[in-house]
């Protein structure tokens, strides 16, 4: 079971019950995650964390993500779930909200462009 976001996690930052069922010969993507080692507490905010401490912690977490071999898979997981807390795939929760909004806007624009092309071709 997930711990509340205000407690640092003492286990893997990617809970097994919420990960996709994708496994390959090497196992699930999160088994290779850098955050599974000793920095898991960096990825989730303790309660009433001061802003300066939060920013420093998030930057440290992003440095771990930057060297992670499965950063892209982690980021996609967090965007598809969507994960409401913590640093996942090198993005904070706020940065993921922005990325999702951009993705939705791009999808709407692509759909509109495709619809316009079909209407023009039919007309």
* pLDDT at 39 (0 to 100): 72
| Residue 39 CA: distances (Å) to CA of 35, 49, 96, 99 | 6, 17, 21, 25
Comparing 55 with 30, the larger pLDDT belongs to: 55
Residue 85 known to bind ligand: no
Closest Cα partner for 86 from 32, 38, 46, 51?
Answer: 46
- CA 26, CA 1: separation in Å to the nearest integer? 25
Model pTM? Answer: 0.66
**Residue-wise pLDDT tens digits, 82-118:** 889 999 999 999 999 999 999 989 888 888 777 777 6
Q: Are 89 and 78 in contact (CB under 8 A)?
A: yes
Question: Is 74 within any annotated ligand binding site?
Answer: yes
Q: Is the pLDDT of residue 37 over 80?
A: no
* Annotated binding residue 37: no
44 is in an annotated binding site: no
């Amino acid at each position: 079971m997930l711990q509340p976001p205000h407690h640092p996690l003492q286990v893997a930052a990617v809970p097994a019950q919420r990960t996709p069922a994708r496994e390959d010969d090497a196992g699930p993507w999160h088994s290779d995650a850098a955050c599974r080692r000793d920095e898991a507490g960096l990825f989730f905010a303790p309660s009433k964390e001061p802003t300066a401490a939060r920013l420093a912690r998030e930057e440290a977490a992003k440095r771990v993500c930057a060297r992670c071999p499965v950063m892209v898979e982690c980021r996609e997981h967090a965007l598809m779930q969507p994960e409401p807390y913590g640093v996942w795939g090198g993005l904070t929760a706020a940065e993921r909200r922005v990325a999702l909004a951009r993705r939705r806007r791009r999808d709407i624009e692509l759909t509109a462009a495709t619809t316009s092309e079909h209407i023009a071709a039919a007309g």
